[in-house]
């Protein structure tokens, strides 16, 4: 790993940029992001500039919401900027494909150990996997009753997943879900020493004989909105005091 002084570009907050609250919600998917930004604006939140993404700070300035940022490289660029602006605790909400028959479309999957199939993590860690922050995982587990941490695998190439590959991940690491950003964000959070956890809505089933997508259904969209509303109602109360 290169030492800090050898790195050419560092994420930073410029003089013209305001600091953001220490904790917030990060949505990588454009669909949820659009919904949340509309809800935030209606609640009196203020929009802030965030290059290729969006950023809103709540009316009381007690939490922020950012997104979208699809794929590990863009998600990490956005994540790094949020940290530079003052974020110390971030909860990710995204979609995932289920590779375990235990999960069906519309189920909530709580992220556990994160295995990297993307190309960004290796610039932050040499480890095979990265972990979320335990106390945040526990809070999400309490908030979404019945969930427990599940191993995840992140990839840059959703059109190159194969059944043998996914079966090997399930057999070797007990991976239950696949997304595009989680492992990289876990690695960055550990590298930057901030708190992070991820929550996923199962959007498609990869364990079926044929791929079964469900992200366009009314039930899926309803579950997505319900999950977002629950997170927004509780994000302000997730804070460092809970660590102890």
Q: What is the pLDDT of residues 44-70, one digit of tens each?
A: 999 999 988 999 999 999 999 999 999
pLDDT digits (tens, 9 = 90+) for 142-171: 999 999 999 999 999 999 999 999 999 999
CATH of the domain at 128: 3.40.50.1580
Residue 244 lies in a domain: no
Note whether residue 198 is domain-resident. yes
Residue 92, domain member (yes or no) = yes
What pLDDT was estimated at residue 38?
95
Residue 243 lies in a domain: no
**Over 70: is that where the pLDDT of 242 sits?**
no
Note whether residue 98 is domain-resident: yes
What would the mean pLDDT of 8-20 be, rounded to a whole number? 95
The whole-angstrom separation of Cα 181 and Cα 178 is 9
Quote the CA–CA distance of 6 and 187 in Å, as a whole number.
20
Domains in the chain: how many in total? 1
pLDDT of amino acid 190: 98
Residue 26 predicted with pLDDT over 50: yes
CA dist 83 and 39 (Å) reads 23
Residue 223 inside a domain? The answer is: yes
* Confidence category of residue 239, pLDDT binned at 50, 70, 90: low
Cα separation, 165 vs 15, in Å, equals 47
Range of the domain at 98: 20-236
pLDDT(240) > 50: no
Tens of pLDDT, residues 171-195: 999 999 999 999 999 999 999 999 9
CA distance 147 to 201: 12
In a domain, 3, yes or no: no
Inside any domain, residue 14:
no
Tell me the C-alpha distance between 135 and 140, whole Å: 9
């Amino acid at each position: 790993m290169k030492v800090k002084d050898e790195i050419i570009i560092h994420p930073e907050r410029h003089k013209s940029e305001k600091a953001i609250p220490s904790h917030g919600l990060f949505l990588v998917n454009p669909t949820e992001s659009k919904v949340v930004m509309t809800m935030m604006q209606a609640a009196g939140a203020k929009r802030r500039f965030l290059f290729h993404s969006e950023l809103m700070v709540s009316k009381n300035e007690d939490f922020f919401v950012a997104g979208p940022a699809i794929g590990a490289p863009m998600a990490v660029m956005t994540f790094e900027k949020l940290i530079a602006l003052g974020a110390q605790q971030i909860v990710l909400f995204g979609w995932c494909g289920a590779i375990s028959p235990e999960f069906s479309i519309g189920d909530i999957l709580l992220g556990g150990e994160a295995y990297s199939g993307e190309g960004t993590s290796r610039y932050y860690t040499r480890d095979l996997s990265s972990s979320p922050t335990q106390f945040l995982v526990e809070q999400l587990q309490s908030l979404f009753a019945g969930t427990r941490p599940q191993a995840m695998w992140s990839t840059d190439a959703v059109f190159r997943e194969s059944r043998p590959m996914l079966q090997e991940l399930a057999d070797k690491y007990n991976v239950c879900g696949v997304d595009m950003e989680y492992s990289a964000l876990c690695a960055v959070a550990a590298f930057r020493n901030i708190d992070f956890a991820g929550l996923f809505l199962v959007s498609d089933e990869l364990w079926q004989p044929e791929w079964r997508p469900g992200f366009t259904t009314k039930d899926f969209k309803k579950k997505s909105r319900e999950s977002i509303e629950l997170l927004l109602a509780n994000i302000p109360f997730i804070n460092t005091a809970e660590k102890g």
